[in-house]
Structure 1
Amino acid sequence: MKLSAQEYARRVRRIGPHSPLGMDCLWAFGVGGCICLLGEVLRQRYLALGLEADLAGTLTSCSLIALSAVLTTLGWYQKLAAKAGAGSLVPITGFANAVVSAAIEFKSEGRVLGTGAKMFTIAGPVIVYGTLAAVVYGVVLWAAGALGVALPS
């Protein structure tokens, strides 16, 4: 049986699951916004404790990473991601979830070869890129200083 493209598309629309795009986007926006709001609330709390702005920002990042790792370990982050979609991929919590998920997945292979090695499956490229980018930026700044070129700050 040969179907035309239009007939195939019509059958897919009729039989396939309905995807409420507007509601999915709203959920993603809401969850991503709530994660960012939580980060700002934490930052303001740290500032209210009298901490410097840089330290408050660092502690906020660490808190969000730890919270994401705990929620991933409990299996709750995956449930949130199933409902929120891309909204749960706020960079800091999404990255922590990806690293912890990879480590949990390979737990059966042992602590060193499983968990210890596999958690860098996701983190490895990011760490390598960050290190190489820092070296490149350092060389550029060093070369500019050696040549007496003023770079914009």
Structure 2
Amino acid sequence: MLGKPMEYIWAFIIGGFISILAQASIMFYRAIGVSASWSVTWMLATMAVFGVIMTVLGVYRKWEEKTAIGAYMPFSGAAAFAVECMSDALVRGEKMPQALWSGIKILVFLYGSGIIVCMIIAAIVVYAG
């Protein structure tokens, strides 16, 4: 075992909470009449906003410290990381446009062209069929 047992337990609890939130948002969007494919899209947007809010409140960093490896989930973790990069840029004295660009650059780096190409191919396959 590489980590401490409590780190694994916290990773399970925090990861489970984030997963439950994602599933609950899908179920909510389906309940109000959003189609299956669009409910997943809205869930991803919801999780991104959730990640940003938890980062601004300082909760996300505490979760990362408890789990030792981070509470990274697609989109929510990336959004939280982008906000942290923007915040660090502002602390270094950069103006808002440059700080915003710092956050955008990290997202482009994280979700490079390979993932974008895969998403486009998946969208074509799903919507063409």
Q: TM-score category by the smaller chain?
A: 0.7 to 0.9
Output one character per residue of 1:43-88: Cα deviation in whole Å (capped at 9) or x when no partner: 1111111111111111111011001111112222112221133351
Give the structure 1 partner of residue 97 of structure 2.
Answer: 112
Give the structure 1 partner of residue 106 of structure 2.
Answer: 122
What is the RMSD of the two structures over their aligned residues, measured on CA atoms?
2.6
The number of residue pairs the alignment matches comes to 119
Q: Are residue 37 (structure 1) and residue 20 (structure 2) matched?
A: yes
The 5-angstrom pairing of residues 5-24 of structure 1 reads 21-24=4-7
Computing the radius of gyration from Cα coordinates, the structure with the larger value is 1
Q: TM-score, normalising length from structure 1?
A: 0.67
Q: Distance in 2 between matches of 1:117 and 1:44?
A: 34
Give the structure 2 partner of residue 75 of structure 1.
Answer: 58
Q: Say whether the 8 Å CA contact 1:77–1:97 is kept in structure 2.
A: yes
Give the structure 1 partner of residue 68 of structure 2.
Answer: 85
Letter aligned with residue 103 of structure 2: M
Structure 2: runs of 5+ lacking an equivalent: 122-128
Output one character per residue of 1:102-133: Cα deviation in whole Å (capped at 9) or x when no partner: 011111310112x1221134212234424774
Q: 1:29 to 1:49 in 2, by over 3 A?
A: same
Give the structure 2 partner of residue 8 of structure 1.
Answer: none
The 5-angstrom pairing of residues 47-58 of structure 1 reads 47-58=30-41
Q: Distance in 1 between matches of 2:116 and 2:22?
A: 29
Q: Are residue 103 (structure 1) and residue 86 (structure 2) matched?
A: yes
Q: Distance in 1 between matches of 2:36 and 2:85?
A: 33
The answer to which of 44-53 and 119-128 deviates more is: 119-128
Letter aligned with residue 55 of structure 2: T
Q: TM-score, normalising length from structure 2?
A: 0.78
Letter aligned with residue 106 of structure 1: A
Q: Percent identity?
A: 23
Shift of 1:37: 0.9
Structure 1: runs of 5+ lacking an equivalent: 1-18, 138-152
